Amino acid sequence: MTDPYQDPLTSSPLLEVRDLSKYFALSSRWLSRIFTRQPRPVLKAIDGLSFQILRGQTFGLVGESGCGKSTVARVIVGLYAPTRGEILFEGQFVNQRNHRFSRASLHSRMQMIFQDPYASLDTRWRVRDIIAEPIRAFKLAQSRAALRNRVAELLLQVGLSPSDGGKYPHEFSGGQRQRISIARAISSNPDFLVCDEPTSALDVSVQAQILNLIKELQRRLGLTYLFISHNLAVVHHISDHVGVMYLGRLCEVAPKRILFSQPQHPYTRMLLDTIPDLSLTGRKRQPVTGEVPNPINPPSGCPFHPRCPVTNERCQVEQPHPGASGESMVACHAVEENRLQ
């Protein structure tokens, strides 16, 4: 398997995941389980994911609800332990037990921004304490004056004023709250930020402000992002590489320009076709059919085959694996066999 990013001129990957999987055991009553002699049902939230994120770049992860996007975020930052697979940060294994003592230094370099700015900030804390918490936890400030200066600097950096530090979260609008969570996330000087739907709860005019801020911080601080969203236009705007997920698997990973101009996987094509047409060209599109199946009981073979327009017998039984196709990695038998036009 060749690596589509293998280019000696580009930077090295900051984060790499290999065969990452996270299964959740679903409890059913043990007595009925014994009587029916069925194994414990397992939800494969993510199953065998491999991708890399290059330093200073943004990797966009897109998919519909329930496809496992947020689980990927949580496994990478360490909120869930992976069931299988490896996470490498700067080439170092992150998720092995014997590295546990180095987690604190790792966590200061990897931070997360959550979707709902109303839920992710403690309503009883002042903004300056919210922002200072990571600095205190990782002991990054030498004195109280240094801490105060750092918080003021962070507030300015995200477009708020240092005097806002004395206020409480409820005094701010949704967009300003998301600025506060961004300030908190960058307060420990991280290299890597996981942004899980950071603009989904915001209105469009405010969304544009936050997207611009996220991009500006990347330029200024050299940040690397994993950016998760269900909104393809937002992912297109912010990403360098894009991965498309369906039912816990990656169907297609490609550089942004290629993914949006020459989508290969039938699911990617379907998703791109659902983007509302703001230029009112009135183009005809393939009608979308079906829904995402229940992930507890996914279809056999390729998980997309019941909705796929080019499915055949092989797709129903054999699970496709990601393979290089041009500059993209695509997990599709039809692409592999050149059955697509």
| Residue 236 contacts another protein per CB under 8 A | yes
Tell me the closest approach of the beta carbon of residue 242 to another protein, in angstroms: 11
Distance from the Cα of residue 275 to its chain's centroid: 20
**Residue whose pair of structure tokens reads 């580009």 in the numeric block:** 10
| Residue 280 contacts another protein per CB under 8 A | yes
For another protein, the binding residues in 166-195 under the rule CB under 8 A are 173, 175-176
| Residue 276 contacts another protein per CB under 8 A | yes
Name the maximum alpha-carbon separation found in the chain. Answer: 68
Buried b (16+ CB within 10 A) or exposed e, 45-63: bbbbbbbbbbbbbbbbbbb
| Residue 221 contacts another protein per CB under 8 A | no
Q: Of 109, 215, 269, 321, which one interacts with another protein (CB under 8 A)?
A: 215
Tell me the closest approach of the beta carbon of residue 273 to another protein, in angstroms: 8
| Residue 140 contacts another protein per CB under 8 A | no
Tell me the closest approach of the beta carbon of residue 148 to another protein, in angstroms: 27
| Residue 232 contacts another protein per CB under 8 A | yes
| Residue 245 contacts another protein per CB under 8 A | no
CA angle 65–20–324, rounded 5-degree value: 90
For another protein, the binding residues in 192-211 under the rule CB under 8 A are 203-209, 211
Residue 19 near residue 50, CB atoms below 8 Å = yes
Tell me the closest approach of the beta carbon of residue 250 to another protein, in angstroms: 18
Tell me the closest approach of the beta carbon of residue 145 to another protein, in angstroms: 32
Tell me the closest approach of the beta carbon of residue 146 to another protein, in angstroms: 32
The region, left, alpha or beta by phi > 0 then psi within -120 to 50, assigned to residue 333 is alpha
| Residue 288 contacts another protein per CB under 8 A | yes
CA angle 214–93–192, rounded 5-degree value: 10
The type of residue at 138 is F
Q: Is 335 helix (H, G, I), strand (E, B) or coil?
A: helix
Distance CA 113, CA 184 (A): 9
**Positions in the binding site for another protein (CB under 8 A):** 64-65, 173, 175-176, 203-209, 211-212, 215, 230-234, 236-237, 260, 270-280, 287-289, 291-292
